[in-house]
């Protein structure tokens, strides 16, 4: 029998031929019932949407069939091989291209930002990309500034492509209008909209094809959907016909993911051409132990996610010594190769089974895929070990504190670490969920962002506020117990300090 969990489809127990026949018959029945339900949903869609919905449901049917067919873990742990010496290149070994080839190189590039996420985890409404992160500028503002600077500096026209979801599309399209007079061509397309299925019946919970009326019945199927949705949008074909060779894909909330000419040069001008896929990885620290890593498996380089790891090997996976790198999700992919792989139906991404419980108590399943998992499908795939500065994601307000601080300065949309910081690493910051997790509340607790240049580690828990001009250095731990409040006074310098209990400075 199929066991569905949040991590993987587990293997069938050994059974006789009668049991096997029953399982196969059940699968066939489940697939047939699903296809009938999907046809009914297509019929309920507005006439103008039927063709698009039908195409998307074909992709979902293929994913569902694989979900039924693929039993057992996606790899055998003991068959993981040691990475070959040339599997991951050191970024510092990459040559910088000469100025005379830069224009030609950039004319063959497309920049893609994954823009499907909402800001709800940080207490914000709408797309995460419109959260203000620095100098009243949003993630999207900074991205557009970066591309505009690139285009103006090198007299090129690198297009910016946003992959939206049905959650972010309408709001993003409104925001994009304000950039129309800038030197950036912006294109948008939507990733697929798939039906959530009941964990018990494996049937869609949607009754009609109307996302606005029943948003809980639908989901965007992870960024692995990029390849087929990009193809279906017509943009892939358009860019290939224009002679563009590569796209650079990254998350919109990774402020370190800027166009890098040394990596682009590796793809276009090196003596070892033929890399259809490059994954930027960086050194794993104890804060990154759950991040996907690179492995060699069946003579191919591929991404290994924690969801694919058998429970008895999770601690091995988290080992910084065994798996030194983790995936930044900054990817460089050859555009004609995407066309080839899709035409050959050779894109087989590991299925991530994401179980959720809706507000009404219904248990549902989302079948998702990850964009980096496609690595194994491309020729000449390689990793590049990049500096940590290329991985600056803002997932929580603790990340927001860092990017708003004086550790970084803003230049043409890019964050640059201050030369005053002694170490190239960023401090480890932990802010308590109860008082700091929402952006509005977080901002209300700081009169202004403290000086963090010499900070190594910061833990703040409880009802804590910060005055103006506070400086935090070394390791600082501030804990206000339940019912207590701590106000750090303006101008305070805390260096290797633990502050706890109840401290209130009152203005007179």
Please identify which of the residues 10, 395, 430, 438 carries the catalytic annotation. 395
62 is in an annotated binding site: no
222 is in an annotated binding site: yes
The verdict on whether 82 is a catalytic residue reads no
**Closest among 144, 313, 112, 139 to 227, alpha carbons compared:** 112
76 is in an annotated binding site: no
411 is in an annotated binding site: no
In whole angstroms, what separates CA 484 from the centre of its chain?
A: 38
CA-based end-to-end distance of the chain: 71
CA distance 127 to 172: 7
Query: In DSSP terms, which residues pair with 426 in a beta bridge?
Result: none
Would you list the DSSP string of 439-467?
A: HHHHHHTBSSPPB-TTEEEEEEESEEEE-
As given in the structure block, the two tokens for residue 39 are: 């046809």
CA distance 276 to 246: 9
321 is in an annotated binding site: no
Count other C-beta atoms under 10 Å from residue 198's C-beta.
13
CA distance 400 to 123: 13
As given in the structure block, the two tokens for residue 167 are: 């959650």
191 is in an annotated binding site: yes
Question: How do the residues of the chain divide into helix, strand and coil, expressed in percent and rounded to 5?
Answer: 35, 25, 40
User: Which run of H or E residues covers position 52?
Assistant: helix 50-69
- Determine contact, residues 451/427, Cβ cutoff 8 Å: no
- Determine contact, residues 397/437, Cβ cutoff 8 Å: yes
Annotated binding site for substrate: 223
- Which residues are tagged catalytic? 395
Annotated binding site for UTP: 128, 191, 222, 253, 395
Annotated binding site: 128, 191, 222-223, 253, 395
């Amino acid at each position: 029998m199929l066991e569905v969990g949040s991590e993987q489809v587990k293997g069938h127990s050994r059974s006789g031929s009668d049991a096997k026949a029953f399982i196969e018959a059940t699968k066939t029945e489940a697939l047939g019932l699903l296809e009938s339900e999907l046809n009914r949903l297509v019929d309920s869609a507005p006439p103008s949407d039927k063709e698009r919905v039908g195409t998307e449901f074909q992709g979902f049917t293929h994913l569902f069939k694989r979900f039924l067919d693929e039993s057992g873990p996606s790899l055998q742990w003991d068959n993981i091989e040691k990475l070959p010496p040339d599997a991951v290149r050191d970024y510092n070994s990459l040559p910088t291209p000469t100025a005379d080839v830069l224009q030609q190189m950039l004319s063959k590039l497309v920049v893609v930002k994954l823009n499907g996420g909402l800001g709800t985890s940080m207490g914000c409404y709408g797309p995460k990309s419109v959260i203000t992160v620095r100098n009243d500028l949003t993630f999207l503002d900074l991205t557009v500034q970066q591309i505009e600077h690139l285009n103006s500096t090198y007299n090129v026209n690198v297009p910016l492509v946003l992959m939206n979801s049905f959650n972010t599309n309408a709001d993003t399209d409104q925001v994009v209008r304000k950039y129309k007079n800038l030197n950036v061509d912006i294109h948008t397309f939507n990733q697929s909209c798939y039906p959530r299925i009941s964990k018990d019946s494996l049937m869609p919970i949607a009754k009609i094809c109307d996302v606005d009326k029943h948003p809980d019945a639908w989901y965007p199927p992870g960024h692995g959907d990029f390849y087929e949705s990009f193809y279906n949008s017509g943009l892939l074909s358009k860019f290939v016909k224009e002679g563009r060779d590569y796209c650079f894909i990254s998350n919109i909330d990774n402020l370190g993911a800027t166009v890098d000419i040394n990596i682009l040069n590796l793809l276009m001008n090196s003596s070892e051409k033929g890399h259809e896929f490059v994954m930027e990885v960086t050194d794993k620290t104890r804060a990154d132990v759950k991040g996907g890593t690179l492995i060699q498996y069946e003579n191919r380089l591929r991404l290994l996610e924690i969801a694919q790891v058998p429970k008895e090997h999770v601690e091995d996976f988290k080992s910084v010594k065994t798996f030194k790198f983790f995936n930044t999700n900054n990817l460089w992919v050859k555009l004609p190769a995407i066309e080839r792989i899709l035409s050959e139906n050779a894109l087989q991404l590991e299925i991530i089974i994401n179980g959720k419980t809706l507000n009404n108590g219904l248990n549902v399943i989302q079948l998702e895929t990850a964009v980096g998992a496609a690595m194994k499908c491309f020729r000449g795939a390689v990793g590049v070990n990049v500096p940590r500065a290329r991985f600056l994601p803002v997932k929580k307000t603790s990340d927001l504190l860092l990017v708003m601080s004086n550790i970084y300065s803003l230049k043409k949309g890019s964050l640059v670490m201050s030369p005053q910081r002694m170490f190239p690493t960023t401090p480890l910051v932990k802010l308590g969920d109860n008082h700091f997790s929402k952006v509005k509340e977080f901002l209300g607790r700081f009169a202004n962002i403290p000086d963090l240049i010499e900070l190594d580690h910061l833990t703040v828990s409880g009802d804590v506020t910060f005055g103006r001009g506070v400086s935090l250095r070394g390791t600082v731990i501030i804990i206000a117990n339940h019912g207590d409040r701590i106000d750090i006074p303006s101008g305070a310098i805390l260096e290797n300090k633990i502050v706890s209990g109840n401290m209130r400075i009152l203005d007179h």
